[in-house]
Amino acid sequence: MTTTTPGDTVRWEDLLPREFEQRLAQLPLVYLPMGLCEPHGHVAAFGLDTHKAVYLCEESARRFGGIVAPTQTYQIHETGYHRPWLKEVMGDVNPRMGSLPPDVVLRLLVYQLRAFVNAGFRAVVVLTGHNANQPDLRLAVEEFRRARDIPITAVSDPELVMGQFEGDHAGRYEVSQLMYVRPELVDLGRLDDRNTTPLGRFAQGDDAHLATASEGRAIIEASLDAIKAIVDEGRPLPEADAAFMSFEEAEEVWQRVAARSDEWCTLRE
Ligand SMILES: [Zn+2]
């Protein structure tokens, strides 16, 4: 028996029309959580980046309003600078990851933004738990805004807390976050697997042993403060001009993004 009601959710895919319309009327803002499956050491689940993005988006919608779009659980990896990094942290071990090339993710993002505008949203927060790709996400956003000038912010979680906490990969910062948002997906008892199993380091951070749920809570709360500032600053106007966008027009936006591929950071070593 569940005691939740249709009014308790902030997820687009879980909302019924009445509650969707109510939330949209209160604040026509949508959050897009982005993450992927990639190695996060022996102590943490592959989907760490996804789980923190989902948590931040859902908690933001609960506290500040708005609706959370279906999670984008694949991200850019293995291209450009990602390739030597993967070699460094994994050696020749299979990383068991779900990478996509940049053109697929950026084209998808353009069409996701189109879907948001057409569904009635007038502001967008794209939050990626996978850090470092966001300049390319912002390039796609910049081109989209030339077609529909509504507030759209693309940001990674370490950018939200810059100056307060130092982001990392599967170290103290990230493992602390996961210990707070999904404690059942962390097992610090496996820290030493990097030395005792053929999987080796498996991209584990050297300071993962310093992770704590209380530090994770501090990071997450600081992140939520920063998201609140983004929501307040880009507070959408319900009457904002954002006409229906056809597939053809979205394709024109994508073509402009594609024409700037020499600027994509994810293709650079
Ligand atoms: Zn991560």
What radius of gyration, in Å, describes the C-alpha atoms of the chain? 19
- Please, is 16 exposed, middle or buried when counting C-beta atoms within 10 Å of its C-beta (0-12, 13-18, 19+)? exposed
pLDDT at 212: 98
pLDDT at 242: 84
Domain 28-235 CATH (choose: 3.40.50.10310, 3.40.50.300, 3.30.70.890, 3.40.1160.10): 3.40.50.10310
pLDDT at 5: 75
pLDDT at 269: 85
Distance, in Å, from the CA atom of 141 to the CA atom of 197, rounded to the nearest integer, reads 43
At 132, the amino acid letter reads A
**pLDDT < 50 positions in the chain:** none
Please state the domain extents for the chain.
28-235
pLDDT at 157: 98
Q: What b/e sequence results for 146-165 when a residue is b if at least 16 CB atoms lie within 10 Å of its CB, and e otherwise?
A: ebbebbbbbbbbbebbeeeb
C-beta atoms surrounding 258 within 10 Å: 15
Host H or E run for residue 220: helix 213-233
At 192, the amino acid letter reads D
Q: What is the DSSP letter of 81?
A: T
- Which residues are within 8 A (CB) of 132 and not within 5 positions of it... i.e. 6 or more apart? 81, 156, 265
How many whole angstroms from 41 Cα to the centroid of ligand 1?
10
How many whole angstroms from 63 Cα to the centroid of ligand 1?
25
Query: What confidence tens digit (pLDDT) does each residue in 151-185 have?
Result: 999 999 999 999 999 999 999 999 999 999 999 99
How many whole angstroms from 39 Cα to the centroid of ligand 1?
8
How many whole angstroms from 48 Cα to the centroid of ligand 1?
6
Residue with tokens 């779900």: 98
How many whole angstroms from 37 Cα to the centroid of ligand 1?
9
Residue with tokens 């009635």: 120
